[in-house]
A and B are shown apart, each in its own frame.
Chain A
């Protein structure tokens, strides 16, 4: 039974990845709200790959993105992160922890009056930059803040 399941998942994974890649390329920004889970982006091992998979390559640095998080997080399993984007027309906020096994942590699509603000808690494997990607008016912006982690939140 277990063996069957594994074989099935392997097959489904390979086929699913292709379908998702196609879907990701074809989706227009407004349609993101109904998208399937972006498996490629969340399983990407590098920040660059993750950015490519969420259609956010080559972001411009912006001082209008504020990241509120502790300078030192004693417990990497729970790191509060609060993002405020003052860029008008912010439609997407993504949170990335650069040293995590899978850097992309979360992507939020905002609509119908939701402001450029998201507050959540993330896991960080070790000390690293928390990078925020903001999409607004078809353009991509970014900002980073270093968070020191004394006990890792991922893995053993």
Chain B
């Protein structure tokens, strides 16, 4: 099971500024292990879904080249303080993680 995400969400006027920091190795599958000379298998987040107040606001598909421990920042107009944010991700090995936060 992966480490929890860090989620921060703050209202700026009528827009929620949401920042998510995920913990993931994000292996591209293109690197060689320095010791064994074998290719390191790809292991990366493929899909990210974010809901605010129960509605999907962002649905991302990621490829091999999102950086390690991915950062995701976005803005949602019309969100309100106190609404719940739920972030889900699924990686190529089927690992999942869901974390929640409240808009401040």
What 1/0 mask marks residues of chain B from 51 to 95 whose CB sits below 8 Å from any chain A CB?
A: 010011111111111111011111111110000000000000000
Residues of B in contact with A, size category: 20 to 34
Query: Is A105 within 8 A of B63, CB to CB?
Result: yes
Cβ of A154 < 8 Å from any Cβ of B? yes
Q: Please judge, given known A-B contacts A111-B57, A122-B67, whether A117 and B32 are in contact too, CB under 8 Å.
A: no
Q: How far is the CB of A96 from chain B (nearest CB, A)?
A: 9
Q: CB within 8 Å of A: which residues of B?
A: 15, 19, 28, 30-32, 46-47, 52, 55-68, 70-79
Q: How far is the CA of A33 from the CA of B57 in the complex (A)?
A: 9
**Which residue on chain A has the smallest CB distance to residue B63?**
A42
Q: How far is the CB of B28 from chain A (nearest CB, A)?
A: 6
- Residues of A in contact (CB 8 Å), total 41
29 A-B contacts (beta carbon < 8 Å): A37-B47, A37-B61, A41-B63, A77-B67, A79-B67, A100-B65, A101-B30, A102-B63, A102-B65, A106-B60, A106-B62, A109-B60, A110-B74, A111-B59, A112-B76, A113-B52, A115-B74, A115-B75, A115-B76, A117-B74, A118-B72, A119-B19, A119-B72, A120-B73, A121-B70, A122-B66, A123-B65, A123-B67, A156-B31
Q: How far is the CA of A133 from the CA of B59 in the complex (A)?
A: 16
| Highest count of chain A CB atoms <10 Å: which of B65, B78, B79 | B65
Cβ of A114 < 8 Å from any Cβ of B? yes
Query: Is A121 within 8 A of B67, CB to CB?
Result: yes
Query: Is A123 within 8 A of B79, CB to CB?
Result: no
